[in-house]
Amino acid sequence: MKMVTLALLFFLVGLVTKVSALNTCPKCGSIEVPYPLSTSENCGDSRYKVYCKNGSLQFLSAKGFYYNILSINPSAYKLVISPPLIQKNTCYSSDLTLGGLLLDENLPFNISTRNTVMLLNCTDNILLSPLNCSLNSFCRQFENVELGNGCRGTLCCHYLKDSAMTSHMIRVRVGGCTAYTSVVNLKPGDPIDSWTYGIELQWLPSN
């Protein structure tokens, strides 16, 4: 009798786990993976693929570079990925050889309009662009933090990634700008130690 009850209990627990697994994916390390994000074929919506690698949740670019996912806001359809590291004592983003961040245009993700992008170690050509390359540019403050240290004294600029721009890439290249970072929702006067480094992506609601 006892065995039967126990077996039934296991069966029910198994059933409940299976049903919930069909929708929302299990946590990745300590981070929740809300629907429709999908870490495997058995959960989420497969168009919203993300990767759980070694307990850290990652986003894959169209160029095959993995960016750490720092936070997710499912009700706003937004997630924030980490800007690539800048290699020590250089001013090279770790995705430089891939041309920077490029999102697959066939996937339901784009770059939101709340990112202030800073381009670093640019060539003079950048001055023909409408970007803010003045001595007051936010990028001049970034040079003073450890992450941006290798870029100190290089020509740099910032811009708000607004709706007038392509929302699928942040481009860097040798002979252009070789590094970048991004801060979410940056307001003039925000002290640098309150900056939220990240690239905010937005997804199209599923169904």
Three-state helix/strand/coil letters over 123-145: CHHHHHCCCECCCCCCHHHHCCC
Q: Which stretch binds ligand NAG (CB under 6 A): 7-15, 34-42, 86-94, 99-107?
A: 86-94
Which whole-number Å values give the CA distances from 25 to 17, 52, 54, 71, 75, in the listed order? 11, 10, 16, 16, 16
**Site map 149..178 versus ligand NAG, x via CB under 6 A:** -x---x--------x---x------xx--x
* Strand ranges, E, within 62-165: 66-73, 78-81, 100-102, 109-111, 115-122, 157-160
Question: At closest approach, how far in Å is the CB of 20 from ligand NAG?
Answer: 27
Q: Is 92 in the site for ligand NAG (CB under 6 A)?
A: yes
**Is there binding between residue 204 and ligand NAG (CB under 6 A)?**
yes
Looking at the Cβ atoms of 17 and 73, the one nearer to ligand NAG is: 73
Among 120, 192, 178, 193, smallest CA distance to 153 is for 120
| Contact between 202 and ligand NAG per CB under 6 A | yes
* Residue whose CB is less far from ligand NAG, 3 or 124: 124
Q: Nearest Cα to 201, choosing from 41, 37, 55, 64?
A: 37
Interface with ligand NAG, residue 191, by CB under 6 A: no
Sheet order of strands, 157-160 included: 157-160, 115-122, 177-184
Residue 54 near ligand NAG by CB under 6 A: yes
Q: Which of residues 98-157 bind ligand NAG (CB under 6 A)?
A: 110, 121, 123, 132, 134, 136-138, 150, 154
Shortest reach from residue 24's CB to ligand NAG, in Å: 21
d(CA 155, CA 119): 9
Distance in Å, CB of 11 to ligand NAG, minimum: 35
Binding site for ligand NAG (CB under 6 A): 54, 90-92, 110, 121, 123, 132, 134, 136-138, 150, 154, 163, 167, 174-175, 178, 188, 202, 204
